[in-house]
Structure 1
Amino acid sequence: MDATLTTGRLVLRQPVMADAPRLSRLLDNFAVAGNLSRVPYPYRLSDAKWWLRLWRADSPAADTNFVVELPGEGLIGIVGLHADTPGTVIGYWLGEPYWNRGFMSEAAAACVDWYMGTTDADALHCGAFHFNKASLAIQRKLGFTEIGTSTRLCLARGEEVRHIDTQLTRTAWTTRQALATAATTGAQKENR
């Protein structure tokens, strides 16, 4: 689906072939690729071009990817949705120079809100390899809860790795939205 989202600091836009050099440069880093299941390492320009050729503007919401762009810097990561065994899954990564600044929490929240607001899905799935504490923290912040463990092939590592599976139900998302609205309303009343 062709959509653009804007957050306080970021623009989430559809990928274009011109993203290939920066995409390959940021993903050709084991610290990033080693946390992902479907990304090889080393990650070459040809890998980025192959992935970018898969994007279609007419894809359904459940198969949409967004480039996470920091104005003035360009592409800093990807957040996207795809079909998997449990249903629609959100996945994401951020280039290492941009870690620990809240960018992925902001981007993932925008993607989750867009997906839940665009579809009538009962749930959205996610997860992370057991050692990826930062990703699991983002998921908890967004209302995802652990629903079990599995093993997934990590292409960069060339092995099966224990994966913590998470899920965000529509009920949990709606509750998070209501709490955010109440907090904003309360802050506005205090500022009057």
Structure 2
Amino acid sequence: MCAIQIEPVIETQRLRLRRARMTDAPRMAKLLNDRELARMTHAIPHPYGLEDAQAYLAQADIADPDDAALFVIDHPEQGPIGAVGFDSVNGAPEMGYWIGRPFWGLGFATEAAKGALVWANETWKRRYVLARHFSDNPASASVLCKADFLYTGEVRLSPSVARGEAVPSRMMVWLA
């Protein structure tokens, strides 16, 4: 008898967070091919094409499920609008996210982050999660603060592929 692996699904008030699929690549490529979005992330290049999205999803698919998770943020009427995920950075869980520009300022990033943090605590039993935002990104600072992250007081230089340089990042921590 073989076991059936059930994909995690996180339901929030307005969103559904689900495992990323290769069929998400065209939508992700369209949303991520945005200079302003890409420059506020660490690893998203600009321009961003279908091949970039496919490579990203393939990498997420082979990641260790005990250390990494990627969820597509699905809106019931709009379909995929972004992603939220966790990676292990020097043994510590770190959360990252992005939302397509048409959906900025609507509270979706905060809602998705909160849902993902509940999942990390309940499923992975994580008692803390790290996050960071570029110092020149007050919108991301607001999202993380609303998701109950606290500033650690540490500022690190973090790479930005789209900018082609390291950018000061403010470190934060979420405690369960």
TM, length-normalised to structure 2: 0.91
Partner of 1:156: 162
Moved more, 13-22 or 58-67: 58-67
Q: Which runs of 5+ in 2 are unaligned?
A: 1-5
Once residues 13 and 148 of structure 2 are traced to their aligned partners in structure 1, the CA distance between those partners, rounded to angstroms, is 20
Partner of 1:16: 21
Give secondary structure in 2 for the equivalent of 1:46.
helix
Higher radius of gyration, 1 or 2? 1
Give secondary structure in 1 for the equivalent of 2:131.
strand
Q: 1:86 to 1:161 in 2, by over 3 A?
A: farther
Matched, 1:112 2:117: yes
State the Cα distance separating 1:112 from its structure 2 match.
0.5
State the Cα distance separating 1:28 from its structure 2 match.
0.5
Q: 1:119 to 1:136 in 2, by over 3 A?
A: same
Matched, 1:140 2:148: no
Q: Identity over aligned residues, as a percent?
A: 31
Which of the pair is proportionally richer in strand?
2
TM, length-normalised to structure 1: 0.84
Q: Which runs of 5+ in 1 are unaligned?
A: 171-192
Q: CA RMSD in A?
A: 1.6
Give secondary structure in 2 for the equivalent of 1:62.
coil
- Aligned pair count reads 170
State the Cα distance separating 1:86 from its structure 2 match.
6.4
State the Cα distance separating 1:31 from its structure 2 match.
1.0
Which of the pair is proportionally richer in helix?
1
